[in-house]
Structure 1
Amino acid sequence: MVQPAVLENLAWADEAIQAIEAEARTGRTFDAYQLQQRQGVADPPSVQQWGSVFKTAARRGIIQQAGFHITNRPTRRGGITRVWVGSPACTRKNSSGPGDTITETA
C-alpha cells in the first residue's frame, strides 16, 4: 500500500530534524546539502520542505544561523544558501558528558 503524501512528508521531516540535531552536536557549520552528505538525509518530497525543517530546528533552539555561502549542490549551480551551526546550548550539552540529550526550548 502506498503511504499518503502527508504521512510521507511528516516521516521525512522527523528524520531531517533528527539529522539536524545530530549534525548540530558536532559543532561544525552546515547547509542542507552538507547535512545530506554527512547524515544521509534523503531528498524531501518537495524541496520547499528544507526551509520548514531548518526553521523548526532553529525555533527549538537546536541550531542558529551562521551565515551564507555558495552551495556545492550540483543542481543549484552556485546558488547562495544559508549556513547553520549548533546552538551553544546544543553543543554544550553534547560536550558535558555521556548520556546527555538535547532538550527542546520554547
Structure 2
Amino acid sequence: MSEAVCLKCGTLKHGPWVRCHRCGHLPADVVDKAKHEMTSTHCLSQADLKTIAAQIQSGHPRHFDPRQLERFVAALRTTRLDSRTKEQLVANVVRWAVILGAGGGVFWFFHWLTR
C-alpha cells in the first residue's frame, strides 16, 4: 500500500487519493490528484515524504514544477477512469447483477413449479 502527504495539512495518509483522516481533504480534480500522486511513495521515498510533510505542517506549501505537473495531469487523463466513469461502471454492474439475479430467480421459481 502506498503512502502520501496531504497537501492541505501535511499529514501522512494511506494512498494519494484517499480522504485525509486529520483535515478531511479529498483530492477531487485531476490537478489535485496529480499533485497528491507526485507526493506519494509512487514517486518519492518515505524520507522525502516525511520532509515534505514537515514543511507543509510548518506553513510552507509544496511547489510543483509546472511541466512535470502537466505531464502527470496528462497521464491521469489518458490512463485513469474519471470518477463519473467509475460511478457509471458501478451502477451498470449493480444494474446487471439485479437483472441477472431476478432472471435467475424467475427461472428457478418456474423450474421448481414444474417439477
User: Which protein shows a greater Rg?
Assistant: 2
Q: TM-score, normalised by structure 2?
A: 0.29
Q: Which has the higher contact order (CA 8 A, sep 6+)?
A: 1
Q: Which has the higher strand share?
A: 1
Q: Which has the higher helix share?
A: 2
Q: TM-score, normalised by structure 1?
A: 0.30
